[in-house]
Each structure stands twice: as C-alpha cells, then as structure tokens.
Structure 1
Amino acid sequence: MSQAEETTTSRVGQLYDQMAGFESDNFSGDHNMHFGYWDTANDTWPLERAEERLTELMLEKLQARPNDRVLDIGCGMGTPAIRIANSVGGEVVGITVSHEQVKRATARADAEGLSGRVSFRYADAADLPFEPASFDAVWALESIIHMPDRLQVLREIARVIRPGGRVVLTDFFERAPIPEQKRAVVNKFRSNWVIGPMVTIDDYPRLVREAGLRLVELSDISGQVMRRTLEGIAQRIANDRKTIDASLGSDMADDLSLSDLIEVWELGYLLVVAELPADGT
C-alpha cells in the first residue's frame, strides 16, 4: 500500500470513528447513513424509507441465495449486512476501516441474535484479508467512493469472489464536466468526506474488464437519488442542528448538510452490477 493510500485509509477511518457515536445515538434511528432511492417522481416517502429502498434495490440486483457467503465492503453501522442476512440467509462478513463502526456493528448483530451469521472486522478493501474464491457475492454501498484506486479494489473483489458470483456497488460520478463556478463546492465535498478521484460512466466498463469481471448493468440513477437525498439530509440537519453542533461542532454540521450540492446536477450516482465469469472468459 502506498503512503497516499495509507493516509486516505487513516482519514476515512477517523471520519467514521467520529461519526459513529453521533449517528448511532442521534442522527439516524435505523443507523443508516447512505443516500436514498425513489422509484418515481410521484413517490413521496421520506429519506428514511428511501434509504431502505436503495438497500432493497441492491438486494434485488445482488441475487444472493440462501447459504451464500456475502462480503459487505464498507459496512458502516451494520444495517445493510443485517438486512442481507435477514432477507437472504447465509453468512455476511462486513469490513470497514473504522474501529468504532466494527464495535457498534458487532454489538447490533449480537443484539439481533445474528452473531453466528453476521460478523464485522477492520480491513482495507484494497488489500482484502480473505482467501481466493471465498465469497459468493460482494456488496459495496457508497464505499468505493473513498478508494484512491478503484481498479485495485475491483481486482481484490474479483480475487475473493467465486466464479459466477455477483458484485453490486454504487459510486459518485461526473455526469458532465463540473463548471468552474461549481468546482469549489464539489472540491469541498470531496475533501470533507475523503472522496477519491472522480470518474465518469464511461470509465466503468474498462475498470470492470481490467479487474477480470464482466459488466452486467451500469445505470445512472441520479434522478432517483441525488436531489431528494441532499434535500432530505439538509432537513435532518436543520431539525437537529443544536444537537449536532453540541456533539460535533458547527463546522462538522455544515459539512454534513451537503446542501451546497443540491444544484450541482453534474454530480451523479451510479449503480454498477458485475460478475466473475463462471466460464473463465
């Protein structure tokens, strides 16, 4: 691992260590901290339901079967991993570079009686501590966004997944070149949240292919995700601003809101589905 990658890993870990206690106790009752998904413009459900809907969508795409072993890269507080285990069965292993998230996610799995099937550990996605072909499916919900080298992460995923296994991930991308007048807002977001290099939708077929995977689906779901999520997060911050300021400080509260990104339509959201070819091609 390069020094730059080590620095990024450390910064991401520190960010989520800081967020873990606050998120668990105050910000999100279901311990989700990811974007939401609304199927149509007519859907009126709140952000909390939209977060669940995105998890449901990814489960549909994952096509995991009972008794499968699933790797959750960037497991957060453990909500998606627990959802996978309860919906599909089998075993789920979650990894994160936040020690605090490992501790809290493990406690949640234990409290739900899943300690034998759901586990969490500290690990870097660019250097997975698992044997080759040891998972049937891999899930990465808003975690590859932090990776300095997406190709290396995808290669590691291809190494640990079994032939025929599916990979489902989400990523931020540039739908169009970011105008100069919006660049400062995007750069601030990337710095505050330790976001890796920006990609375009056209980068993914090459990344997936060079990693040894086969692309199944590549969807721009920005319209179903971005604006309403950003507006929902801004409202959450406004509703709980005093608590956030007291817990994390006003600067962190401003960083959390992401409201400056609402008008940056050029920043999009990708859903990627790939698989390791079973026939060796």
Structure 2
Amino acid sequence: MQLLGEICRITPGARHLDLACGKGEMLTQWAARYGSYGVGVDISKVFLTAARDRADELDVTGQVRFIEADAGTYEDEPHSYDIVSCIGAAWIGNGLAGTLTLIRRLLRPGGLALVGDCYWISPPPPEACASLQVPKDSFASLSGTAKLIEDAGYELVEMVLANHDTWDRYVAAQRWTERMATRKSGRPRCVGLAAILGPCTRLLSRVRQGLHRLGCLRSPRVSR
C-alpha cells in the first residue's frame, strides 16, 4: 500500500474515490500520510464500521467518509476525482473492462485509475479453473490485461505484481474475515496457531493447485 502511494505521487488535497473499499485501509492510510481526501464505497455494513473506526484511529475523520452503496451503480459528480481505485473487486463491473468503464465517468481528465485484478500466468487446463472455481475467460494473460486496459482508452503507466506469498496472505485473510463474520453468536473464538492454520492450509492447498497458472496484478496505475 505504501509502495502504491509512492508510485501515485499523491499530493495534499488530492481527491480519491475507492470503489468496494472494504475496511478503508488504503483511504485512511493515504489521508494520514499524504493529506488526501477520500470517499469509500462498499456494500458491507461490517466493513464500513471498521473503516470509520480506522479513520478515527488515524485521526482523519475530517478527510474521509464512507458510503454504504453498491459500488457498481454508485453515482457521484462526473469527472471529479484525481484518483479512482478498485482493488480486487473487478466484479463490480462484471470484469476489468466494465470496471474501467465505471471508473472513467468519475475520474477527472488526466487522473489516475488504480485497478487490481488477477491474470493467467499460463493457459489454464480445466482442472485449474475447477480448482479456483473461475471460468477460463474470467482473466486474460498479463499482456492481454495490458491490452485490455489500453483498449479501454487508458495509458498504462505502472504495474505492481503480487508474488505467491502476498497472494496467499490475501486469500487467507479473506477466509478469516468470512469465518469471523459467519461464526455462531456467542461461540468462543480461538486465535491459537492451530486454529488459524487449520482452515487456511485447507484453503491454500486448493488455491495452490492453480497458483502456478494464476497471478495477481496488485494495481496497475493507469492514466486516463
């Protein structure tokens, strides 16, 4: 996240919209570090509560606000943001191309779009798609992803690629959040190493079956 902020050369007062912002970590950290102002949009009440708590913790409640809404249909003043981001949630536009279209109408001319999505390292066999539970055409190759961005009318100016370790942590964190959100009320929580590694290793063993074929484009920086 810090690397992305440095790459984007964020200036004080910059306006940042984060679609499917989750717990708002990027918005709040950048507001604290760079003096930017942000709006985060997410459909999850739980995540937005955590995002507001994080803003309070970092003393940036006057710089960021969070809106409960469907990021795929969110409306705001056209072309009013310096940065529009959507990291790991290209499903809001039914894929990367659609998400870039959503971003375009909110991004000022010359602004920066930050998008994060997966790509195929090599052509996947049917068993890899089955293991990952995704259709083959859900993602392109890395070069195909770059072409898709350019075909959408953007200039690709930077790429940051995730490695296997950071991808593992991303997937494991998602599963942890899901389990904590759906656990039975009043049921004791255990944070012992075995309790964490049990569900995670089962998940990662499945993910790694396709991992040598699937990469993650953490966030290409694209200029409109």
Give the TM-score taking structure 2 as reference length: 0.76
Matches within 5 A, 1:246-257: 247=183, 253=199, 257=203
Stretches of structure 1 lacking an aligned partner (at least 5 in a row): 1-54, 277-281
Distance 1:245 1:207, change over 3 A: closer
The reply on whether 1:149 has 2:95 as its aligned counterpart is yes
Q: After superposition, what is the alpha-carbon deviation per residue over 1:178-199, rounded to whole angstroms, capped at 9, x for unaligned?
A: 1233332111xx49xxxx9223
Matches within 5 A, 1:219-258: 221-222=161-162, 225-227=163-165, 229-230=167-168, 247=183, 253=199, 257-258=203-204
Aligned to 1:117: 63
- Residue type matched to 2:62 in 1? G
Identity score, percent: 25
Choose the corresponding residue for 1:81, options 27, 31, 56: 27
Q: Quick check: 1:132–1:159 contact (8 Å CA) kept in 2?
A: yes
The reply on whether 1:132 has 2:71 as its aligned counterpart is no
The reply on whether 1:273 has 2:221 as its aligned counterpart is yes
Q: After superposition, what is the alpha-carbon deviation per residue over 1:184-220, rounded to whole angstroms, capped at 9, x for unaligned?
A: 2111xx49xxxx922322333443234332221345x
Aligned to 1:104: 50
Distance 2:13 2:169 in 1: 39
Distance 1:254 1:231, change over 3 A: closer
Q: After superposition, what is the alpha-carbon deviation per residue over 1:91-134, rounded to whole angstroms, capped at 9, x for unaligned?
A: 01111122322233123323433221111112333333111121
Distance 2:48 2:208 in 1: 31
Cα drift, residue 172 of structure 1? 0.9
Q: After superposition, what is the alpha-carbon deviation per residue over 1:239-264, rounded to whole angstroms, capped at 9, x for unaligned?
A: x9xx96993799xx469833322242
Distance 1:198 1:233, change over 3 A: closer
Aligned-residue CA RMSD in angstroms? 3.4
Q: Kindly indicate which of the two structures has a greater share of residues assigned to helix.
A: 1
- Residue type matched to 1:175 in 2? I
SS of corresponding position for 1:126: coil
SS of corresponding position for 2:164: helix
The reply on whether 1:64 has 2:2 as its aligned counterpart is no
- Residue type matched to 2:164 in 1? M
Distance 1:63 1:139 in 2: 15
The reply on whether 1:214 has 2:155 as its aligned counterpart is yes
SS of corresponding position for 1:258: helix
- Residue type matched to 1:230 in 2? D
Distance 2:38 2:13 in 1: 10
Choose the corresponding residue for 2:140, options 189, 199, 207: 199
Give the TM-score taking structure 1 as reference length: 0.62
- Residue type matched to 1:78 in 2? G
Q: Quick check: 1:95–1:124 contact (8 Å CA) kept in 2?
A: yes
